[in-house]
Amino acid sequence: MSRLSVNEINPAIGAVIEGLDPTSPLDDDTVRTLRAAFDDRGVLVFRGLDIDEVFQQQLVYSLIDDELPDEDRISVQVSNKAEGGLAPYGRLLFHCDNMWARTPQPAISLYGEKVEPPSAPTRFAGMRHAWDTLPDELKARVEGREARHGFDGVYPNRGGDDDVLDASFPAARHSVRPVAMAHPRTGDTLLYVSQQMTNEILGLSEDENEELLAALYEHLYDPELIVDHDWREGDLVVWDNVAVQHGRGKVSLDGNERTLRKVTGPMNLDPDELLPPRFSKVAERNG
């Protein structure tokens, strides 16, 4: 049995977990402690672990109380060096993975396989805290409204520039959800809009839409409440992909290696939603 300590990172989100022994089974007491921390803090950080992808998957699924799938491929690599690595360059604006999918993806984890410092941090913003602290005037403006998320070949990337990753897709995909969305597992209300993936708040003029989104983003991405994780080899970070958005500093194809092993909770994607991205700078480099 692991003797765990849960240490808050900031008032909005995040906790560093100490005392997890990956050589021991995840017993009931350990899982209860971790699951309570996960639901409360949204982002769990473990330092200096020597784990394989199987343990990583077991931990992720235990946090969301889901059954392990019977599948051969457990992980993928987020890397600027590994062949076929995901998101191999650029900055990532704040988002939740697959906000455009019919069913939200519940959890994501990254493990530091090969990290040459200095390395771009992964950044986190809490959507529950953002809603709980949203000024009443803004709450009134989004009350009962829905937002559309997704892409028409490329992400909307509000606030982006030439440093932002330019992923493209072979087809358009969108979802519509309440701006004040209830978390499907915890029931918490979330401020569910993001820089990278939100197209529009429905029923507004273009000018009003842009003005309102800018105000929501200013609140949601308050620098005092952003958690930046600076990677080291052996780090494991697990987060609630419904309640927490993530972004990233700039990564270069020619820079220090940054290879992270990604293991998620169930993707819940329908066959027509399996759209592999194309990264133009990789295509250019490969001729």
pLDDT tens readout for residues 167-210: 888 888 999 999 999 999 999 999 999 999 999 999 999 999 99
* CB-based contacts of 28, cutoff 8 Å, min separation 6: none
Q: In whole angstroms, what is the distance from residue 226 CA to residue 246 CA?
A: 10
> Does the pLDDT of residue 283 top 60, yes or no?
no
Strands (E) in the chain, as ranges, are: 5-8, 15-18, 43-46, 76-79, 90-95, 107-115, 122-126, 146-154, 167-178, 180-182, 189-191, 198-201, 227-229, 236-240, 244-251, 258-264, 278-279
Q: Residue 287: its pLDDT value, please? A: 45
Convert the pLDDT of each residue in 54-65 to its tens digit: 999 999 999 998
* DSSP letter string, 53-64: HHHHHHHHHHHT
CB 46 within 8 A of CB 232: no
Which residue in this structure is represented by tokens 């699924």? 61
Convert the pLDDT of each residue in 118-156 to its tens digit: 999 999 999 999 999 999 999 999 999 999 999 998 887
Mean of the per-residue pLDDT values of the chain: 93
Give pairs for 132-135: CB < 8 Å, separation 24+: 132/189, 133/219, 134/191, 134/216, 134/219, 135/219
Lowest mean pLDDT among 152-161, 166-175, 255-264: 152-161
> Does the pLDDT of residue 43 top 70, yes or no?
yes
Residue 281 banded pLDDT, cuts 50, 70, 90: low
% of the chain with per-residue pLDDT over 90: 79
Convert the pLDDT of each residue in 1-16 to its tens digit: 568 999 999 999 999 9
Residue 284 to residues 178, 251, 259, 280: CA-CA distances in angstroms?
39, 17, 21, 6
Q: Which residue has the higher pLDDT, 280 or 242?
A: 242
Whether residue 118 has a cis bond before it, omega within 30° of 0: yes
Number of H helices, E strands in the chain: 6, 17
DSSP-derived letter for residue 287 is: -
Q: What pairing do the DSSP bridges indicate for beta strands 278-279 and 180-182?
A: unpaired
Q: In whole angstroms, what is the distance from residue 187 CA to residue 153 CA?
A: 32
CA angle in degrees (0–180, nearest 5) for 106-111-117: 135
Q: In whole angstroms, what is the distance from residue 202 CA to residue 50 CA?
A: 47
Right CATH for 5-268 from 1.10.1040.10, 3.40.50.12240, 3.30.70.2190, 3.60.130.10: 3.60.130.10
Q: In whole angstroms, what is the distance from residue 277 CA to residue 262 CA?
A: 16
What is the average per-residue pLDDT within 261-275? 86
